[in-house]
Amino acid sequence: MNNPQLNANGELQHLLTIEGLPAEIIQHILDTAHSFVGVTEREVKKVPLLRGKSVFNLFFESSTRTRTTFEIAAKRLSADVINLAIATSSQTKGETLLDTVDNLSAMHADMFVVRHASSGAPWLIARHVAPHVHVINAGDGRHAHPTQGLLDAYTIRHYKKDFRQLAVAIVGDILHSRVARSLIHALTTLGTPDVRVIGPQTLLPTGVERLGVRAFNDMREGLRDVDVIVMLRLQSERMRGPLLPSAQEFFKYYGLTTEKLALAKPDAIVMHPGPMNRGVEIDSSVADGKQSVILPQVTFGIAVRMAVMSILGGT
Amino acid sequence: MVKPALPDAELLVNELVARLRPVIDDRTAMIGIHTGGAWLAQRLHRVLGLTVPLGTIDISFYRDDYAQAGLHPRIKPSQIPFDVDGRHILLVDDVLYTGRTVRGALNEIFDYGRPAAVSLVVLADRGGRELPICAQYLGATVSVPEDRMLVLARSDGDVFTLCLESNE
């Protein structure tokens, strides 16, 4: 199969989506991230791998956490980081996406981290750039958010060790979620036997079962005996038309409360990619509770992004 | 071609132990370089009865051939479970060759802090240095054909042997 992310030797050239990535590459990223966790805990939190390289953060869609963690990751690899606030740049003056990329390439960019509201934009850039330039998808439309999927997988592996024993439930707005898609591909590739998506029918993509998951409309049924619960943000800004009666109604049926959490295994972990809406998809008592690993996810995200950048930069 | 005779690794370990014993105290720390150096350091640390916990490092993040060769496929986390500042550190590797690994290890150690001194402990020196680095505590000098790799092997019973492998 022709995978535009891999070079002729089967090495990772760009990271655009987890779909179709071999399990060995995913494992290699997670293993490498494990070594970077140690780096982030020492006196000098830097290694020299990307010294002299320039990483451009190209965010056509707003983000604080993802952009910041990419920036920290690149800086800890000793790269120079240039952040572009596209909303205030030449794109608003009519420049095309590829002209912007050409101009930045002329400034000797070595890596682009791209977030875009349109699915496929990072792929378009990856096809366009010179062979030594690498592209990382930091979220494109509803399509994919591979580093989030990888950091979720890293977090699950950190707490639960072996994917081949696990039941994982992803809950909420699956329809608009690139995070859900990326995580589902990571989990199934790594051999997770029981992946479930839970949400109202209006927020589940048609034919979601084809991704190798079981779909539930009843949260109480879907959460039974799971090891991992991943709550998703209700993406009201992407919704067109009335998909939900109200946020309050959503919370009643799909909000994670202490009482619903009790249906999962006693040692189940609770994850959320952020930003979370307390009282919409998750209750504060759960978000701040002892089963929550939402903040460790953020910390692991830096190590995972360091791993991805260092693997790409050496290809 | 005459097969070069390789020294008995276990005898060399005993010699290193004898040479190190007079210079250690309860503040001496030890760091082994993955993978062979870490095995050797585990043994030396145990036999010498060092009280500061053993450190191990994987220098993959400090390799100078990253731009040509990329990131090593199997990286182990570095663990230095003691405060490096002001410490006398015995840095342990199995084989000393170009010196580039030791250069990477020194850079990594200094990212943890400022040691008082670092001494290099090596089981076998095969020559071929490309940097001004030498071992303070050395088991033996070994002559190895340039197209071969000298590596340390460890059996299930924790017995060391030096052996030659062909360069990939």
Q: A270 has which bridge partners?
A: A229, A292
Q: Crossing angle, helix A178-189 and helix A23-39, to 10 degrees?
A: 110
Query: Residue A250: which of A184, A203, A196, A195 has the closest Cα?
Result: A203
Angle at A227 between CA A222 and CA A160, to 5 degrees: 155
Enumerate the residues of chain B whose CB falls inside 8 A of the CB of residue A310. 61, 71
- What confidence score (pLDDT) does residue A87 get? 64
pLDDT at A270 over 90: yes
- pLDDT tens-digit profile of A105-131? 999 999 999 999 999 999 999 999 999
At residue A235 the predicted structure's pLDDT band, cuts being 50, 70 and 90, is confident
Please name the member of A35, A44, A49 whose beta carbon is closest to the beta carbon of B58. Answer: A35
- pLDDT tens-digit profile of A85-99? 776 565 667 788 899
- Taking the Cβ of residue B107 and every Cβ of chain A, the question of whether any pair is shorter than 8 Å is answered with yes
User: DSSP string of A204-221?
Assistant: S-TTGGGGS-EEES-HHH
Q: Crossing angle, helix B9-20 and helix B36-48, to 10 degrees?
A: 50
Collapsing DSSP to helix, strand or coil, B113 comes out as: coil
User: DSSP string of B63-110?
Assistant: -TTHHHH-S-SSPPPPB--S--TT-EEEEEEEEESSSHHHHHHHHHHH
- What confidence score (pLDDT) does residue A203 get? 93
Enumerate the residues of chain A whose CB falls inside 8 A of the CB of residue B69. 314
pLDDT mean across residues, chain A: 93
Collapsing DSSP to helix, strand or coil, A199 comes out as: coil
Look-up of token digits 């006196």: A43
What's the token pair of residue B114? 């400022």
> Which residues, other chains included, contact A295 with Cβ-Cβ below 8 Å and sequence gap of 6+?
none
A48 and B62: CB-CB below 8 Å?
A: yes
Please name the member of A44, A46, A314 whose beta carbon is closest to the beta carbon of B66. Answer: A314
In whole angstroms, give the CA distance from residue A150 to residue A162: 15
- pLDDT tens-digit profile of A250-264? 999 999 999 999 999
Q: Are B109 and B30 in contact (CB under 8 A)?
A: no
Angle at A189 between CA A186 and CA A194, to 5 degrees: 85
Helix locations, chain A, DSSP H: 23-39, 65-76, 97-106, 121-128, 146-160, 178-189, 219-222, 247-254, 258-261, 284-287, 294-313
Find, in chain B, the residue whose alpha carbon is nearest to that of A310: B71
Task: Tell the burial category of B136 from Cβ atoms under 10 Å away from its Cβ (0-12, 13-18, 19+).
Answer: middle
At residue A41 the predicted structure's pLDDT band, cuts being 50, 70 and 90, is confident
At residue A291 the predicted structure's pLDDT band, cuts being 50, 70 and 90, is very high
Binned average pLDDT, 10 residues per bin, chain B of 168 residues = 77 97 96 97 97 96 92 91 96 97 97 96 97 97 93 94 87
Adjacency order of strands within the sheet including A54-59: A80-85, A54-59, A111-116, A134-140
- Enumerate chain A positions whose Cβ falls within 8 A of a Cβ in B: 11, 28, 31-32, 34-35, 37-39, 42-44, 46-49, 310-311, 313-315
Average pLDDT value for residue range A291-313:
97
Collapsing DSSP to helix, strand or coil, A17 comes out as: coil
Verdict on whether the full-model pTM lies above 0.95: no
Average pLDDT value for residue range A157-181:
96
Query: Residue A187: which of A23, A34, A12 has the closest Cα?
Result: A23
Average pLDDT value for residue range A156-167:
97
Greatest mean pLDDT among A35-49, A74-88, A230-244, B15-29: B15-29
pLDDT at A79 over 80: yes
What's the token pair of residue B12? 């060399």
Query: Residue A119: which of A242, A19, A10 has the closest Cα?
Result: A19
Adjacency order of strands within the sheet including B137-141: B55-57, B29-33, B88-96, B117-125, B137-141
Enumerate the residues of chain A whose CB falls inside 8 A of the CB of residue B59. none
Q: Are A57 and B125 in contact (CB under 8 A)?
A: no
CA B2 to chain centre: 28
Q: What is the sign, positive or negative, of the torsion defined by CA atoms of A4, A9, A12, A13?
A: negative
Mutate to test the interface with A, among B31, B75, B85, B107 (most CBs of A within 10 A): B75
What's the token pair of residue A61? 């869609």
pLDDT at A198 over 60: yes
- What confidence score (pLDDT) does residue A292 get? 98
User: DSSP string of B33-71?
Assistant: ETTHHHHHHHHHHHHHT--SPPEEE-GGGG-TTHHHH-S
- What confidence score (pLDDT) does residue B72 get? 87
Q: Please, what's the b/e burial string for B33-70 (b: 16 or more CB within 10 A of its CB; e: otherwise)? A: bbbbbbbbbbbbbeebebebebbbbbbbbbbbebeeeb
